Amino acid sequence: MTTTISKPVVLSLGGMTCASCAMRVEKKLNKLDGVRATVNFATEIATVTLPDNVSIADAISIVESAGYTAKEVSQNNREEVTPKDTVEKALRQRLIISSILAIPVVLMAMIPGLQIDYWQWLSLTLASPVVVWGALPFHRAAWVNLRHGNATMDTLISIGVSAAYIWSLYALFFGGAGATGMTMDFTLLPDPNATSEIYLEVASAVTVFILLGRYFESRAKSQSSAALTALLNLGAKDVSIISQGQEKKIPIDMLQLGDQFVARPGERIATDGKIVEGSSAVDESMITGESVPLEVSPGDKVIGATVNAGGRLLVEATAVGSDTALARITYLVEHAQAGKAPIQRLADRVAAIFVPIVISLSLVTLVGWLIAGAEPSFAFTAAVAVLIIACPCALGLATPTALMVGTGRGAQLGVLIRGPQILESTKQVNTIALDKTGTITTGKMSVHELHLALGVEETEFLTVAGSLENASEHPIGQAVSKYSSERAELVTPDDFQSTPGRGVQGVVNGRVAIVGNPDWINTEWGLTPDSDWVRTHQEQGRTVIAVVWDGQVKGLIGVSDTVKPDSVSAIAKFNRMGLTPVLISGDNQAAAEQVAQEVGIDKVFAGVLPEDKVQIISQLQSEGQIVAMVGDGVNDAAALIQADLGMSMGSGTDVAIEASDITLTNSNLTSAATGIELARKTLSTIKGNLFWAFAYNSAAIPLAMAGLLNPMIAGAAMAFSSIFVVTNSLRLRGFKPTK
C-alpha cells in the first residue's frame, strides 16, 4: 500500500548540472494538483508539501521522469540532506585525468615537429577517453535536455565536442588522415577535396576547459550546505543524566522530556531546559549575539547548545529534538536556503537562444553546399567548422579565472568571495543590515568609565577592584582585571568568595572589599551607590559594578562592549555608496540606539531573536530593498542566508561563516564595502568574459558557413579567445577600493 502524507517532505536530488535543471524539477512537481515544491540547486534538496491524494512515490516518480534521481530523507536527520564532497572529488578526478590525456593531443596537433609516424592514432587513443568519459556529464545533460526540448550550454558543448570527434573518426577511417606519415598544415582555408585533417585537439581542449569551470563551480556549490553541517555540530552528541540517583552518559537522541541532566562548567548545555539546582553564568551569544553572559539560578530557563561559563548546573529537559531553539535555527537556515532563488547561469540563458541557431546554421551550411554541388567532404568540413567555432573553450575559463583572480585580490584586502552564484546580487544592493555585537562592536567587554568617590585614588581603587576580579572567571570580571592590571599592581586576595550572578568579595591588602552589581550591594549590604550615575549608564546599555571597602562605596565602574575603530568610517562609506545602513541587534533598545548614534545609523531594530532577524530582512525585501547582511553569530545564520547578500566576520562562528556569501577575513567593517565593490567588479569582468567568449567566435561563423575557415583555425581561434579571457581577468589584480 502506498503511504500518503499531508506535511512537507524532503527529497535529496541527483543528476542536476545547472540551475535550469532545478527549475525544471520544481516546475514538474508543481504541476501536480495541490503540490507545493521548492528546489534548491545548491544543496540539491527539494522541499515538497503533498496533499493526501499524492504519495511520496508519486513525487519521486515525477522527478525521475524528468531525468533526475530522488530519494526521501528524514526531516529529523539533516545530515542526510547535506551534499557530500563525493561529486566534487569525482569531478576533480575527471578533470585531472582528462587534462593529462589532452595535453599531448593538443601539443601534437599544434607542433609539426611532434607529428611522428602514427601520431594521429596515438592522438585518437588519448583523446577518446577524454571525449567519451571526460565529457560524459555534458553528453548526459544534453540528452536530458533533448528529451525535454531544451538547450543549455551542455547541449552546445556536447554537440561541438562530438562533431569534432566524429569528423576525426571519419577522416581517420574513411579519409586520408589515417595514412602513415600524415601531417597537418596550419592553413586558413579548408581543402575542398580532402578529408586529411583531424580535430581531436579541439574536442579534448574544449572538454578540459569546461571541466575546469565546472570544478570551480562545484567547489562553490558544495560549500552552500556547510552552514547546516556547522549547526548540527553545535549540538551535544551525548549527555549526562541523573537516573535513580546515579549519573550516567547517554546519546543525545535518547534524552526525553523531563529528564534531569548535568551541565558542567565549560560544557554546552545539552538541550533546552529549566534549572533545578545550581547557579552560573551562561553564554547565550549563539542565540542573542550578545557578549554579556546571562546569570541564571534555579527556576530560570536555559537554551541548548549555549555554554555554561560558571558553576555546575542540574537541568530538567523541557524540549528535545526538533522542538529545541537550535533545531528552530537550523530550520530557519534550511528554509532560507530553499527560498533563495538560484541565479541561473548567464551562459545557459544565452545558450537557450544561441544553441538552436548554431545547429540550424550548421545544417543550413551542410545542405547549402551539397545543393551547390560541392564535395560531401567539403560540405561536412564547413558544417563542422560552424559547430566548432561556435563552441568557445573560453566559456569554461570565463567565470573561474575572474573568480580566482578576484578572490585572490580579495584575500589580500581581507575579503573572501564564496562563489560566482552570489555576484549578481551585489550589483543591486541598496540596503545593508548590520549586526551589533562582533560586527560594529568588538564583542568583548572592556572598561568604559570610572566614577570614583571623593578622595579615592585611582591606583588604589583599581588595585582593589582588579585583584578581586582577577580571581573571577566572569567575562566582566576579566575586563576589569585586564584594565586594572595595565594601570596598577594587583595582588592575590585572601578569603576570596564568589556569589554567582552577584559579585565577589575578599581581603585585599588587609581591607575587606566587595565588588558586585549595585542591586546586590544595596540589598545585601545596605549601601547605596550613586543612583543617577548607575541609571544613566544602564540606560546607555552598559553594565555597572560597584566597589566597596571600609563599609563605603568607593566608586563605580562602567563596563561595555566597544565600537570597532573603523566602524564610523565604514558607515560613512556605505552612505557614499548609496547603501542605507540598518542596525539589527538582540541587545536592548537603549544599548542598540547608543551604538547606532555613535556610528551614524538612523534605523534600529533591537531586542530581536534569530527568527525576528529573518522577518526583518524579509520585510525590507518586500518593500523592494535589495539587502546585504553583515553578522558574526549563530543567531545571524538564517538572516545571512535570507539576505540577497550575506557577509560574515572572519572572527565569527563557523555557522555564520558557512552561511555567508562573503567572509571578511580581517573582521573589519570597512571590508564589507570593499567586498561589495570587488564583487561588483568581478561580476562585470565575468560578464565581459562571457560576452567575448561568445562574440569573438560567433563573429567567425559567417566565414565558416562560406567555407573560408579551416576547423583547425577555428580551434586556434578558441585558444586565442581563451588567452583574451585570462588576460581580461588578470586586470582584477589591480583592483583598489575607493576611499
- Catalytic site positions: 435
Neighbour count for residue 566 (Cβ, 10 Å): 16
Distance in angstroms (rounded) separating the CA atoms of residues 185 and 542: 81
CA 416 – CA 678 distance, rounded (Å): 10
**Helix orientation angle between 567-576 and 589-599, rounded to the nearest 10 degrees:** 70
| Helices within 340-474 (DSSP H only) | 346-371, 376-389, 394-412, 423-426, 458-470
Around Cβ 542, how many Cβ atoms within 10 Å?
A: 21
Rounded distance, CA 138 to CA 125, Å?
Answer: 21
In the chain, the amino acid numbered 627 is V
Query: For 647-708, where are the alpha helices, taking DSSP H only?
Result: 654-659, 670-698, 701-705
Per the CB < 8 A criterion, the answer to whether 160 and 354 are in contact is: no
Give Cα 397 distance to the centre of its chain.
22
Locate 550 and state its grid cell: 571600609
- Amino acid (one-letter) located at 710: N
Query: Do residues 282 and 302 lie in contact, with contact meaning Cβ atoms separated by under 8 Å?
Result: yes
Distant-in-sequence, close-in-space partners of 454: CB < 8 Å, separation ≥ 6: none
Q: How many CA atoms lie within 13 A of 78 on its CB side?
A: 23
State the CB neighbour count (10 A cutoff) for residue 355.
25
Q: Of 335, 229, 230, 239, nearest to 286 (Cα)? A: 230
**Residue 729's closest CA among 394, 393, 391, 403?**
403
How many Cβ atoms sit within 10 Å of the Cβ of residue 538?
A: 16
**Contact (Cβ atoms closer than 8 angstroms) between residue 291 and residue 435:** no
Q: Using alpha carbons, select from 426, 343, 417 the residue that is nearest to residue 684.
A: 426
Nearest to 543 by CA among 597, 490, 469, 487: 469
Strands across the sheet containing 627-631: 415-417, 662-664, 645-649, 627-631, 431-435, 580-584, 603-605
Residues 6+ apart with CB under 8 A from 8: 47, 48, 49, 50, 75
CA–CA distance, 504 with 279 (Å, rounded to integer) = 14
DSSP 8-state symbol, 259? -
Beta bridge partners of 603: 582
Can you say whether the dihedral through the CA atoms of 390, 393, 398, 399 is positive or negative? positive
With H, G, I as helix, E, B as strand and everything else as coil, classify residue 734: helix
> Grid coordinates representing 51?
496533499
Rounded CA-CA distance 330/492 in Å is 45
Question: What is the grid cell recorded at 465?
Answer: 577592584
Residue 73 burial (10 A CB sphere; 0-12, 13-18, 19+) = middle
Q: In what helix (H) or strand (E) does residue 123 lie, and over which residues does it extend?
A: helix 119-129
Do the bridges between strand 645-649 and strand 627-631 make them parallel or antiparallel, or are there none, so unpaired?
Answer: parallel
Distance CA 65, CA 87 (A): 22
Closest CA to 40 of 7, 11, 75: 11
The answer to whether 312 and 264 are in contact (CB under 8 A) is yes
SS3 499: strand
**Is-contact 379 365, C-beta < 8 A?**
yes
